[in-house]
Chain A
Amino acid sequence: AQRVTQPEKLLSVFKGAPVELKCNYSYSGSPELFWYVQYSRQRLQLLLRHISRESIKGFTADLNKGETSFHLKKPFAQEEDSAMYYCALSPNTGNQFYFGTGTSLTVIP
């Protein structure tokens, strides 16, 4: 069963426009949610995780347990934000990870 759903495979926005990458999950209990990013020719790396409640590179994500969502948002997109973004879930046991299918974000100059 798909635990993490990213409905948009491709997303294009203009520079300076707001951007939202959607992530929905299905899991009973209290999972941990993450956003990972893969820039061109670079390794996959952690962008942010819900427990840290940080803003990284202007991105934020709020865990909405009622809607089982963990959408990634940024008010003003920059060209350097163009990348592949993956939402991931780790059950509260902490051993396994489930990734979504990814969203390729392109920021148009």
Chain B
Amino acid sequence: NAGVTQTPKFRVLKTGQSMTLLCAQDMNHEYMYWYRQDPGMGLRLIHYSVGEGTTAKGEVPDGYNVSRLKKQNFLLGLESAAPSQTSVYFCASRFGLGEQYFGPGTRLTVT
């Protein structure tokens, strides 16, 4: 039981490049979330999903897209990376109204 895993752990992008961050969970959780963590800003919700095939916008969705084609996976895409997207990205999953389980994070730098 791996819990919540994130791929990759680190990435450096140049402005304008694209990439996809993968979040996977093996706990059969319905809810999945993508956050970004920035100094002095705490965690801010980017997008979330309440089930396979459904996604919704969070607080800071601009510049990101997501997909939940399979229940266990939640993908976060950056189509054209910008330096403002330099951050640590956390994925989380949740079963019903229970606690959130977080992944280890992905540190992304956009130059």
Contacts and interface: CB of A to CB of B under 8 A. Distances in A.
A95 B42 contact: no
Interface string B24-43: 00000001010100001111
Contacts of A44: 43, 90, 92, 102
B107 interface: no
Contacts of B31: 95
Contacts of B43: 44, 86, 88, 99
B1 to A, nearest CB: 14
A100 B45 CA distance: 12
A46 B56 CA distance: 23
Contact of B41 (A34, A90, A95, A101): A101
B31 to A, nearest CB: 7
The interface residues of chain B, by DSSP majority, are classed as strand
Most A-side CB within 10 Å, residue of B31, B43, B44, B59 = B43
Interface string A78-109: 00000000101010001111111110000000
B78 interface: no
A43 interface: yes
A9 interface: yes
Interface residues of B, number: 24
B108 interface: no
B101 to A, nearest CB: 8
Given A95-B31, A99-B43, A43 B48 contact: no
Interface of B: 31, 33, 35, 40-45, 48, 50, 56, 58-59, 90, 92, 96-97, 99-100, 102-105
Interface of A: 4, 6, 9, 32, 34, 36, 43-46, 49, 86, 88, 90, 94-102
Given A44-B90, A46-B99, A97-B45, 19 more contacts: A6-B42, A9-B40, A32-B97, A43-B103, A43-B105, A46-B100, A86-B43, A88-B43, A94-B97, A95-B31, A95-B48, A95-B50, A95-B56, A96-B45, A96-B48, A98-B59, A99-B35, A99-B42, A101-B40
